[in-house]
Structure formats: C-alpha cells, structure tokens
Structure 1
C-alpha cells in the first residue's frame, strides 16, 4: 500500500512538469477547473480560501482571477510542489503556504468561507477521506462551501474498466507527452486510492454537510460541492 512518503516523493519529483502536463492528462481540463469557480457564485462573499492538496497552486490560480482580494492558504505535503506555488504567486501578499499532511491538518477552526481541492483527495484511503471531510466541516464558517474536483472509482466493474481504459487510451495516443512522461504517469496512478462518488457524497452528508451534490462528471473526473 502506498505510504505518505511515497506519495510525497512522487510529487516532489514531478513538480517541475506538473502544470504543463495537466492539459495533456485531463481531457476535460477547462470544465474541470472552471466549473469549481462558477460554483462559488453561491457565496455572497469570500474573504478566506483554503486550498488543500494545493500542489503548484493551479486550482488557486483560477480562483484568484475572481477573488483577488481574498486571503489564500495553500496546504500540500510536497515541499517542492508548494515551492512552485510560491513562485507562481510571488507578487501577491495574500498567500500563505503550509507543508502539512492532509490526514492531520492543523488549522484554525471556523476560519474559511471556501475550501477547494483539485486532484488531491483521491490519494487518501476511505477512512482518511471521512476524517478529512469532518475536518473540512470544522474549518468552514457557517454557510461556507467545499468544492472538490477529483477522480473517483467506478460504481461497478464495468464503469471502472470503462473509465480506466478510456483515459489510458487518450494518454497513450497523446503526441505531446514523451514516452517517459506517459510511463511516469502510469506509475504515479498506482498511488491512487479512489472511492466511488456515491460513497463520498454520503460521507459528506454524514458529517453534517447540506446541499451535497455532484455537478459535473466526465468518466471518472468529477466536481462536487457541499455547504455547511
């Protein structure tokens, strides 16, 4: 079973190329990153944003276009990934960067209006996801919103096989990625611990979230939200 250290090591290694590869590895890239920002329109105002598993800050970059006066806190286990995020936002004073394990976030409760995440939570096992959802609920202000853009496990063998084969075929056929990059990608997905969408939505309801809903899906790429 992949360990926290193995996950950290893999993403430290890929940090330099991470952003460049996103559009090549996510067939639905534009929807996947823009729809979360649209979902935040539910909020009357957003002053504090937490990005968990922030990596190089790609998701936060999309939200910054809309909330350039908000305070951003970016958390990730990979120091090298956060180093790239610091470079991305070097001209901004409203950013804080924290190296922390998502399974044991040490942050102030009831501080954030918005908690966002992109392609991070699927690296946690089921129990860790449940724990994280409970923590996110505590970190949000009343009326706060959690938005997650992530990958999920198919509900049955047929859907999982379809999701996996379709994505793999697209990666193999991609002429921009090198053979080495494709191989590294296929190695990296071995770290994934995806869970079915329905189960994740139920776990969110179980910890007290309301208006839990999946709003977008492209094979195993989904965007869902939940309000406190």
Structure 2
C-alpha cells in the first residue's frame, strides 16, 4: 500500500515513522512543504531505511528533456538525491524518460501516469496505449504506472491505483474514489494509493491498518477465484 503525505513538516516525519511498518511506498509532494531542506531529506531517508519502504516523489514531470533533467537534479528539492522513484507524464515523448534515466542512479526508477482518477481526465485509451508502449522501450527504468485499470500485460510492470478510499465517493474538485476491494479485484491494482483516507483520519495508524487489511483480503480473494 502506498501513502500520500501533504501535511506540515513535523507531522509528516511523525506520520512516516508511525505508519512506516504498514506501507511499501511513501508518495510525497515535497513542494507543499515550506521548509523542506537537506536535513529533511536525510531524515526522511533514515525513516525509510528504518521501516524498509521506498520513497516516490509525485512530481509528475511533464516538460522537455533538458528542463526536466534540471528540475530533477537541482533547485530547492534536489529530487534525484533522496527519492527511489518519481512520477512523470508521457505527454512530452520519450525524451523525458531519457533525461530522467541519464540523471538517475541504477537503482532509481520512474512511474508513468497512464490514467488519472479525476473527472474529465484527458488520458484517453490511445494516450494510455502510447504510454505503455513508451514504458516498454525503457524496461530498466520504468517500474510501472499510475492508472485506473490493468493497462499492461507485462508482469514486470507494477500498477498503482490512486483515489482509493473506504467510503468511496468523491470531492468538490473532481476526485473520484474507489474502495480497496474494487481497486484490487476489478481494476487490477498491485498497489493502492491512499491519501486523505489515512492522513485526514482521527487515528492514521488505525486507518492504515484497515486499508492494508482490506487490500490484502481483496488480493486473497483473487487467488481463491482462480
């Protein structure tokens, strides 16, 4: 299960440490934190090592190769230094992956945005298919996809489904939710991405455990149905 943090710095580190045993990837939006610095970066890496989870900065890179490479390696966030993977749009073409891969360590990866969970998204079927084709051309760098369905038949691709919430409904800004069972059994998610369902909960750790159990139970049900 992945978890999105978009809260204040203190609670971010506190929650990362509290929930670390229950997640496989921490999905961050560090540009929402006002005082992110090198000390913050090292602290987050230490927490990830302690609990054995990976860090994915949800940067959604979407520019020409040279610009993206500079955004990735420099600036106030120096994303390349502290992440295990980043997200990117396929819209600019394969140059964006070439640029990111050139600047990455061998163990780092990219996750492509193939589909989105917002109402009215422009990620059409042909766009998604082109995104998957682009991923196939970078087998050593593209880990998988953020998506709403099983977009690739390649068993090496990881499918991460966002917009997962136990009380599935939506919000006033176009977000559309599905519950963990639907994400795993109907949409083929390998990993569920949970944000407000945990972060906005009165007891985040208890909420994380509920999501973890719901997703795992759904996974077991797919095995029994085969």
Task: Mark yes or no: TM-score above 0.5.
Answer: no
> 1 or 2, which has the higher strand percentage?
1
TM-score, normalization: structure 1? 0.35
